[in-house]
Structure 1
């Protein structure tokens, strides 16, 4: 769901459609999602109406903490209670007697992915927290910690900061950094079939790639598509990346192993429209409910809102076909892998429901 449902009637229709083919466990997850993101006016009415379908074969876990923590990962802020405003919250937020502290002490290994994007004060806060939880003066409380990441990628995001300020906030500038053992991975397992391209990308990240005018990177000729007209260029790009888009129904790798990246939402929408039109099968169209959020914007017609494509929201008109790839734009259920950015495959549809499964590479 996109969180754009207009009335409780739409939510009721959504549940009515889903009960026809989903098991109770999936229905309960959907019901919870609707309560959080769609905020129905009368949740009790919905619960009473669909109680039989929601409660059939209902089961309880012996431990709520164990049930919620066994599957999937967590963000560092949520798992270790790292506040966003560390300067005003310097002390650990985890009680030594809490279940979370007990869980941390039971861990034999903690892995922090995308560490280069973390601010150094967050990692220092994390280190102090572990010392407190373990009542130890050892580094990270004596726990084995693995920080993963590539410093060729994005540095910590500091709003309105200079490059030097972003660098100063990074992990490598922390007093903890010299105390760590650094292990370098040298083989890109996803690019073993194209070592020339892999080496070219690495050279750009290392700063050793030849630059033009001191700033422009010259791309290798084999990956450049040249055309006089932009419309022809887009068609050539699509033909080169998805030459067999018609086979998507029988060959999922057509979408799982390829992607076209664009800097603007308008370009994304245009390319998506072309790709969906080339797929075999009937198209199904979903449209959002757009309305003004305050009095100041009520002067604009609804048609104007329909033309806008703000970040983190789907287009007003979403056209899909069976086996079309889609991307989730919200963290709905992290334990089930349904997070912002999760790629799914469109499998079935109703008027108020999209049935999709997580894409497996």
Structure 2
């Protein structure tokens, strides 16, 4: 009882006593998302809120937003309210399991597992791959490959469709279209109902392609590996079932991985597949650019020695090498492509201390008394006030920087050049369990965690100028 009112739960009583925060901000977030998000995205957002935001009244949220998060299930033929609720809970549980949680720990209706469909009986790892979205552009990519890409595409796809083993290495410098080739292969294979796994050594590169993860995450490769290590996968777990039915495995940015990681995966796949072939007889693609690896051997022996030292001479000799030489990213600028290739091959002469002089054509000269940043903006975005409405003008221009602080500075300068009224928005920061008040709000406002916006965000509504 709180102030003479009987509460239905402990959480409700704690909230009325002021011991718990209200869920107004969460409710506003969901209300806004309902306007433009599809039910699948709403369910994913709902799960993210459950896991990371700790709402005080989960059951109330479920009742309030059930119709929105289950709209697609309710449109199925012969759908009943019970089946809609259970299908929605099944999908929510799928997302919760991918985050390491169980639906039973949340105040949600019980899950009726007896109505699980045949697809629902798949292990979570397999369902995640089956749900990977195939983009239309990726499906059409196979018709736009150049000669080198098409040769690699048909060679690899022939092995996959025939279910024959093959270990490939796609060797190409940056800009030759390795990722474009991967996406074309993945779209073709997945559109035929087959499973393809894609990984990248770098965490940044692992977000480029749909469903991509790091090899350590996908294959459970231990951080500290030796020449006898095995991946943390047993023959009975879900990951092993996924690997067994996968028709293709891609490992991008392979040159920057340690040699023992490849050997560990090789031993594990041989064991899982009960095959004494390289990587258990799977079709596997390694890709990358050895020019981007830090120089650890003398230049005179670099080209071949670095390949064998990274992937071992035994594995390297068994790989089918496919080269991509044509720079597709700068195909309209052959001068830059040749200059870029000379640098990668260490053929470009240096001036002093290993430094390379950039051609004058690549430099932007400072204009009079303007600041260097303004000269850069004027060169990349000429007559911005007259052309900002042009989609072609905006999408073909970008400024890349080496640090986030430069990004923020250039963004501020560019925003001021757009017409329209400027509005400023501020974030709300607070500490949790900081009883001694060591971290003041002013200090929190200065922090810039990855993935979060600045404390002070300046925006202009230029869309109203289009009408």
Fold match (TM-score > 0.5): yes
Q: Is contact 2:423–2:458 with CA below 8 Å preserved after alignment?
A: yes
Is 1:14 matched up with 2:29? yes
Is it true that 1:54 corresponds to 2:69 in the alignment? yes
132-141 or 114-123: which moved more? 114-123
Matches within 5 A, 1:317-336: 317-321=456-460
Structure having the higher helix fraction is 2
SS in 1 for 2:290: coil
Which of 202, 212, 220 is residue 74 of structure 1 equivalent to?
A: 212
Q: What is the distance in 2 between the residues matched to 1:38 and 1:230?
A: 51
Structure-2 separation of matches of 1:42 and 1:84: 40
Taking the aligned partners of 1:144 and 1:200, their CA distance within structure 2 comes to: 35
Deviation at 1:312, TM superposition (A): 4.4
Aligned-pair CA distance for 1:218: 0.8
Which residue matches 1:329? Answer: none
2:310 to 158, 173, 182: 173
Residue 48 (structure 2) pairs with residue 33 (structure 1): yes
Alignment TM-score, normalising by the size of structure 2 = 0.58
Distance 1:207 1:19 in 2: 54
Q: Mark the CA change 1:102 to 1:238 in structure 2 (over 3 Å): closer, same or farther.
A: same
Contact conserved, 2:266 with 2:279, CA < 8 A, in 1?
A: yes
Residue deviations 1:253-307, cap 9 Å, x none? 623x433222222211010112233335555544322234674983454233323
Q: CA deviation at 1:248?
A: 4.7
State which drifts further: 74-83 or 185-194. 74-83
Note the 1:66-215 alignment, pairs <5 A.
Answer: 66-70=126-130, 71=132, 72-75=210-213, 76-87=215-226, 90-153=229-292, 172-175=309-312, 176-215=315-354
Secondary structure of the residue that 1:108 maps to in structure 2? strand
Please, what is the CA RMSD of the aligned residues? 3.5
TM-score (norm 1): 0.73
The range that moved more, 261-270 or 239-248, is 239-248
Per-residue CA deviation, residues 3-51 of structure 1 (Å, 9 max, x unaligned), is xxx9632111111222234332222122122233434344333223322
1 CA distance for matches of 2:280 and 2:332? Answer: 42
- Relative CO higher for 1 or 2, CA cutoff 8 Å, sep ≥ 6? 1
**Cα distance change of structure 1 residues 316 and 110 upon mapping to structure 2, 3 Å threshold:** same
Aligned match of 1:251? 391
SS of equivalent to 2:247:
coil
User: Of residues 47, 50, 59 in structure 2, which corresponds to 1:44?
Assistant: 59
CA–CA distance in 2 between the matches of 1:284 and 1:123?
Answer: 52
Unaligned runs of 5+ residues in structure 1 are 1-5, 156-161, 325-361
Structure 2: 5+ residue runs without aligned partners? 1-20, 74-83, 88-116, 133-209
Are 2:364 and 2:379, in contact at CA under 8 Å, matched by a contact in 1? no
Task: After TM superposition, give the deviation of residue 311 of structure 1 in Å.
Answer: 4.4
Q: How many residues align?
A: 310
CA distance in 2, matches of 1:149, 1:19: 41
Alignment deviations for residues 183-226 of structure 1 (CA, whole Å, 9 cap, x no partner): 22110111111111111122222211121213222111011123
